[in-house]
Amino acid sequence: MDLWLYILLLVVLLLLRVPVAFAMIAPSMLYFYGRGLSAGYAISSIVNGINGFPLLAVPLFIFVGTLANHLGIATRLYDFARALLPRLPGNLAYVNLGTAIGFSWISGSALADAASTSKVQIPQMLKAGYPYGFSAGLTASGSLMSTVMPPSIPAVLFAATAMISTGALFAGSILPAALMAIGLAVYVFIWVRFHPEVASSRPFDSALARKALAK
């Protein structure tokens, strides 16, 4: 019962817009004091929990995702994928999905993927006549592959917590990520068939492809 009270306190602090770090630390310290444990034990437990070599990859993945976002890699992936697709109905939707797959191999974070690709893809799809709900939903769904596709930050955290091989977990997550991409591609294929008004396509643009590669 005490644990639920601390969880309620955490929710209240978050609703009061207390910084997340302090909102989590305050109930945790109260929980330790309520159990008769010292503050030193609480601090040592927190430090020991994050004192793992595999967790060193997490800030590096975040740094790579941020760097890719500021360098405009998502824009280049979008331009290159759009140029490569021939006269395919609903090509912008497939470009959206292809860009999400490419960026998921870089960032390892769904938030970084969604934040970077949505600025490029959603406005272009809206200009082409795609509804906002479909454009935003496809972008958000595609960004979720970053949590599964290696390198995945949640996979690293799980491997460090469960004491299993990070490489083996990455190898085992390739097939689920591929199934997610195939499932989204099938959905796009079916959706385009029921919305022929946005199924217009463009021919292969070799100049755009060379420009995307040269950036």
User: What does each of the 215 residues of the chain score in pLDDT, given as a tens digit?
Assistant: 467 778 888 889 889 988 888 888 888 777 777 777 666 766 676 666 666 656 666 677 667 666 766 777 767 767 777 777 766 778 888 888 888 888 788 777 777 777 777 777 888 788 878 899 999 999 889 888 888 888 787 887 787 777 788 888 888 888 998 999 999 999 999 998 888 777 655 544 555 555 544 55
Are residue 77 and residue 132 in the same domain, yes or no? yes
188 and 141 together in one domain: yes
Q: Alpha-carbon dihedral of residues 47, 52, 55, 56, nearest 10 degrees?
A: 100
Do 41 and 122 share a domain, yes or no? no
Looking at the structure, do residues 129 and 90 belong to the same domain, yes or no? yes
Pair 12, 75 in one domain: no
Count: domains in the chain: 2
pTM for this prediction:
0.63
The verdict on 77 and 6 lying in the same domain is: no
Specify whether 85 is located in the same domain as 189: yes
- Displacement of CA 100 from its chain's centroid (Å): 9
Structure tokens at 33: 């004091």
Cα dihedral 166, 171, 172, 178, rounded to 10, equals: 130
59 and 47 belong to one structural domain = no
135 and 209 co-located in one domain: yes
Claim to verify: residue 115 and residue 181 sit in the same structural domain: yes
Q: Are residues 158 and 192 in the same domain?
A: yes
Q: Based on the domain organization, do 26 and 91 belong to the same domain?
A: no
Domain extent for 162: 55-214
